[in-house]
A and B are shown apart, each in its own frame.
Chain A
């Protein structure tokens, strides 16, 4: 099988087991630039594992992951890390902001990891914080801001490197509906404006409704809901 034409990131026949637990059992995935794809499924279905494999955080046991013509599944860790630093962005449910750093330093962190100077990195960070309407928090530490604000800071951090793919794992999981929607509005708008693809893992249908397409993962197998209808 070849990845669907025009896809930015595609995976085929992914298999991954953690010890005796099979997390992925032949999952497939593909996403185009600018597309928002929701990955849904019950707890323990393997949707987070799918995201981790797609993002090159963990290598799959077998199968292929093609990003922009490059094979991720067999790429060495250092290269995958570099890719994550420069081309991917991440938003998680919680516990992702470094509590010691101020918000602007947190947002600037991915740029600094790429070697950008502190001043420049923080300047770019501030631009993104403005877009996510959290620029007034720049001097605050994560412990001093609300959950919704923290998540928006995290989104700013994920986008500050202008990633081609944004991976969001339950980005609103710890938020109420109103804050969750605010984060989703800003996240999808920002991603669309930069033509970034968004892989959105969620178990909430109303969050998934922000996507263009939905993939359901059950027992380690994926199902593209477009093809069902």
Chain B
């Protein structure tokens, strides 16, 4: 067989694919869109590992404060960096204050030169935010003049909020954690940071769930117009092409659609890449440049997809012998067997089973098992559905004429019917599972944090040496703050270094102390102790020895030298009763009034301010943050809430919903095309049925039943499989199983809607076909 002959046959097939008139074009286009979506999704999938690694590289390249506590000497190549991260609303903003100590100080990635004091360089997203009207409060907090933008190399996402600002006098605050002296950027001790396994699981499942229906769709799309094609091939056989040639011509037709699909897919991918650069999911955004599939994988996709399309065509033609005078279907379809169809989903479950209960902290999910398991479960839908349709339809009893017509037709060709709804069923099953996973994980995120937020909702840790009282005063004056509890807090041990015993120390005036313990009487100069608090073991012992010297802020091995301020346990230490502090925590240890603490020991304690807020004041958290930044630029406000609300899944859920609906709409379009094709083939029959008085309603109803029965079965099966998969996924992430009925309903509703729409859209042509013109024999 010469190459020329091959090329000629394939070429002829390609011509048939594109030169089939409007109908041929529609078919080629739908195939191409389906293949294109598949290609784009596959390319995106292949780009995900690259994306994650680029993000990781970028993140580690800019890492600065490494908690090493190894003190560096000041030199002309050092830089002092302060972590001034802040939050605005629910967005995290990465902030760094930079104070170069010499001309050779290292420049962080993405920065061209150091901003001077009073200047800052911001990420494009932060710039946009600051320039918007509703970020006035943030602008107050970050009043520095913007002198530039951070380049892509310094960011890990297109939507990342970040700034660098010039700093001065940071050296005294160096503690290795908030403020550090460094001579280079980049992770010196790179650790294999684990991406949240649940996130990876979700990404994998999202892609599998979106890919599967597309794959099913492609499989269906390349079969569009199969009967007509078979007839055409039969005509070609009549004029002398042999059966190998006809197969090659059919392959050419399939190839044309999928090659066009490759072009579409590349377009979709490039488009998707840009879109991906403009969205933010899980507070994670990416730059389009991150989404570069590895060339080898891209090539694989480019070869695999057309090859798969051709293979599906060949597979579909396997039971068909094209003879010159028509098409012979070999081998009467045998009754569908259940066992191997059940094997697939059960196999899928078996693959997922070992990972149940692993959870977020329990190690990794084996990606191959996850992909394999989810794939098998979803493929199980496509293999089970034909059996279910056949089994159910065979048992459907009598009804009206419309019902009888539909049921009989389904009985005769349940495979076709099942194939038509397979795509929708798979999409629905996958979407239900994913929605359940999202909803479950979301619930997990809104779990009770255990904090009592009735009395305080925000805690501000002041920097070392910052004075507590003025700061507390400023908070009192902040709008929306109802109550301020201010304490100097610290920890003491029985010796300055590596103590064996320890206890908390809390310093505050009598009123404040009453908020954390039950005091019978209190005057300034009093000292109290509280025993039996949670985690407290040593207070009882330490409080017994009045006159004993203990050390506030002791040092520990591996850490920097701390204050190690000596303090004598005073005589007349009074025991106080325990009570929950404003954060809902049992506070033990020593409680001192200000006069009970020697001035020398004051620097060994850190100021902590607890604030009770009026939630009805708009942006009250950001007002507090502003006050905090003004009072002490290095202070760290932390908002507590009894439930951590998280809306970060909303975008993902919406995205998934839109994706699922889009896929289903596409499937619906193909359904419509094949439906119309089928109806046209029955034109004569329809007209003759109308001739002898069949009501149009009866025929329309029968068309509706004909799609409604398989789709109902498909959706039912999809719900069962989807919920099973959802439960398994939730168990895998160790999340309490909650069936998200809303998503089940919305997804099945969408599926049903698509079918209803297809039926409605096929009605006008149906009514047209029922006109008596079809009766004309001449």
The chain A residues found within 8 Å of chain B, CB to CB, are 18, 43-44, 48, 52, 55, 57-58, 78, 81-86, 88-90, 92-101, 105, 109-110, 112-113, 118, 141, 157-158, 169-170, 173
The chain B residues found within 8 Å of chain A, CB to CB, are 398, 401, 404-405, 408-409, 411-413, 684-685, 688-695, 698, 772-773, 775-778
Asked if B412 and A100 sit within 8 Å, CB to CB, the answer is: yes
Asked if A83 and B693 sit within 8 Å, CB to CB, the answer is: yes
Which of A58, A94, A95, A157 has most chain B Cβ within 10 Å? A95
* Partner of A158 from B404, B692, B694 at Cβ < 8 Å: B692
Asked if A96 and B685 sit within 8 Å, CB to CB, the answer is: yes
Q: For the A-B complex with A48-B775, A48-B776, A112-B404 known, give 10 more contacts whose Cβ atoms are closer than 8 Å.
A: A52-B772, A89-B692, A90-B688, A94-B684, A96-B684, A96-B685, A96-B688, A98-B405, A112-B401, A113-B694
A110 proximity list for chain B (CB < 8 A) = 692-693
B425 to chain A, nearest CB (A): 23
* Partner of A84 from B411, B692, B776 at Cβ < 8 Å: B692
Which of B401, B408, B695 has most chain A Cβ within 10 Å? B401
Measured CA separation A78–B404 after assembly (Å): 22
- Known contacts A100-B405, A100-B411: A86-B777 contact under CB 8 Å: no
Asked if B693 and A113 sit within 8 Å, CB to CB, the answer is: yes
A99 proximity list for chain B (CB < 8 A) = 412, 685
Asked if A98 and B401 sit within 8 Å, CB to CB, the answer is: no
Closest 9 CB pairs of A and B: A85-B693, A95-B684, A84-B693, A100-B408, A96-B688, A100-B409, A57-B772, A43-B778, A90-B692
Residue pairs across A and B with Cβ atoms less than 8 A apart, 20 shown, are A57-B775, A81-B690, A84-B693, A88-B693, A92-B684, A92-B777, A95-B685, A96-B685, A98-B685, A99-B685, A100-B413, A101-B405, A105-B408, A112-B401, A113-B401, A118-B404, A141-B412, A157-B692, A158-B692, A169-B777
Asked if A113 and B698 sit within 8 Å, CB to CB, the answer is: yes
B685 proximity list for chain A (CB < 8 A) = 95-99
Q: Which residue on chain A has the smallest CB distance to residue B400?
A: A112
* Partner of A58 from B401, B688, B772, B778 at Cβ < 8 Å: B772
Asked if A118 and B684 sit within 8 Å, CB to CB, the answer is: no
Asked if B695 and A113 sit within 8 Å, CB to CB, the answer is: yes
B773 proximity list for chain A (CB < 8 A) = 18
Measured CA separation A101–B406 after assembly (Å): 10
- Known contacts A100-B405, A105-B408, A113-B693: A52-B775 contact under CB 8 Å: yes
Measured CA separation A212–B551 after assembly (Å): 128
Asked if B690 and A48 sit within 8 Å, CB to CB, the answer is: no
Asked if B777 and A93 sit within 8 Å, CB to CB, the answer is: yes
A6 to chain B, nearest CB (A): 26
B776 proximity list for chain A (CB < 8 A) = 48
- Known contacts A96-B684, A96-B688: A82-B772 contact under CB 8 Å: no
Measured CA separation A157–B411 after assembly (Å): 22
Q: Which residue on chain A has the smallest CB distance to residue B399?
A: A118
Chain A contact residues, majority secondary structure: mixed
Asked if A101 and B408 sit within 8 Å, CB to CB, the answer is: yes
Asked if B692 and A85 sit within 8 Å, CB to CB, the answer is: yes
Measured CA separation A104–B773 after assembly (Å): 27
B677 to chain A, nearest CB (A): 16
Asked if B690 and A57 sit within 8 Å, CB to CB, the answer is: yes
* Partner of B408 from A83, A89, A98, A158 at Cβ < 8 Å: A98
B636 to chain A, nearest CB (A): 74
B777 proximity list for chain A (CB < 8 A) = 48, 92-93, 169-170, 173
Q: Which residue on chain A has the smallest CB distance to residue B694?
A: A113
Measured CA separation A101–B775 after assembly (Å): 20
B707 to chain A, nearest CB (A): 15
Asked if A81 and B693 sit within 8 Å, CB to CB, the answer is: yes
Measured CA separation A218–B772 after assembly (Å): 21
A96 proximity list for chain B (CB < 8 A) = 684-685, 688-689
Measured CA separation A93–B684 after assembly (Å): 10
Q: Which residue on chain B has the smallest CB distance to residue A89?
A: B692
Asked if A81 and B695 sit within 8 Å, CB to CB, the answer is: yes
Measured CA separation A88–B690 after assembly (Å): 12
Measured CA separation A100–B414 after assembly (Å): 11
- Known contacts A82-B693, A83-B693, A94-B684: A44-B401 contact under CB 8 Å: no
- Known contacts A57-B772, A98-B685, A100-B408: A92-B691 contact under CB 8 Å: yes
Asked if B404 and A105 sit within 8 Å, CB to CB, the answer is: yes
A98 proximity list for chain B (CB < 8 A) = 405, 408, 685, 689
B407 to chain A, nearest CB (A): 9
Measured CA separation A154–B698 after assembly (Å): 20
A157 proximity list for chain B (CB < 8 A) = 692
B698 proximity list for chain A (CB < 8 A) = 113
Which of A86, A100, A173 has most chain B Cβ within 10 Å? A100
Asked if B691 and A90 sit within 8 Å, CB to CB, the answer is: yes
Asked if B693 and A169 sit within 8 Å, CB to CB, the answer is: no
A115 to chain B, nearest CB (A): 9
A58 to chain B, nearest CB (A): 5
Q: Which residue on chain B has the smallest CB distance to residue A84?
A: B693
B692 proximity list for chain A (CB < 8 A) = 84-85, 88-90, 110, 113, 157-158
Measured CA separation A56–B1 after assembly (Å): 60
A204 to chain B, nearest CB (A): 13
Measured CA separation A97–B405 after assembly (Å): 12
Q: Which residue on chain B has the smallest CB distance to residue A58?
A: B772
B409 proximity list for chain A (CB < 8 A) = 100
A113 proximity list for chain B (CB < 8 A) = 401, 692-695, 698
A106 to chain B, nearest CB (A): 10
Measured CA separation A106–B776 after assembly (Å): 21
A55 to chain B, nearest CB (A): 7
Q: Which residue on chain B has the smallest CB distance to residue A101?
A: B408
Measured CA separation A169–B690 after assembly (Å): 15
A53 to chain B, nearest CB (A): 10
A18 proximity list for chain B (CB < 8 A) = 773
B772 proximity list for chain A (CB < 8 A) = 52, 57-58
B398 proximity list for chain A (CB < 8 A) = 118
Measured CA separation A101–B401 after assembly (Å): 11
Measured CA separation A18–B771 after assembly (Å): 12
A78 proximity list for chain B (CB < 8 A) = 695
B330 to chain A, nearest CB (A): 16
Q: Which residue on chain B has the smallest CB distance to residue A112?
A: B401
Q: Which residue on chain B has the smallest CB distance to residue A49?
A: B776
Which of B409, B684, B692, B694 has most chain A Cβ within 10 Å? B692
B329 to chain A, nearest CB (A): 11
A60 to chain B, nearest CB (A): 12
A84 proximity list for chain B (CB < 8 A) = 691-693
Asked if A169 and B775 sit within 8 Å, CB to CB, the answer is: yes
A81 proximity list for chain B (CB < 8 A) = 690, 693-695
A97 proximity list for chain B (CB < 8 A) = 685
Q: Which residue on chain A has the smallest CB distance to residue B409?
A: A100
* Partner of A109 from B401, B690, B695, B778 at Cβ < 8 Å: B401
* Partner of B688 from A95, A105, A118 at Cβ < 8 Å: A95
Measured CA separation A101–B398 after assembly (Å): 13
A86 proximity list for chain B (CB < 8 A) = 693
A141 proximity list for chain B (CB < 8 A) = 412
Measured CA separation A62–B692 after assembly (Å): 23
B675 to chain A, nearest CB (A): 16
B411 proximity list for chain A (CB < 8 A) = 100
B689 proximity list for chain A (CB < 8 A) = 96, 98
A101 proximity list for chain B (CB < 8 A) = 404-405, 408
Measured CA separation A96–B686 after assembly (Å): 8
Q: Which residue on chain B has the smallest CB distance to residue A117?
A: B398
Measured CA separation A173–B708 after assembly (Å): 38
B324 to chain A, nearest CB (A): 20
B741 to chain A, nearest CB (A): 37
Q: Which residue on chain A has the smallest CB distance to residue B684?
A: A95
B778 proximity list for chain A (CB < 8 A) = 43-44, 48
A58 proximity list for chain B (CB < 8 A) = 772
B518 to chain A, nearest CB (A): 85
Measured CA separation A97–B682 after assembly (Å): 11
A129 to chain B, nearest CB (A): 17
Measured CA separation A82–B773 after assembly (Å): 20
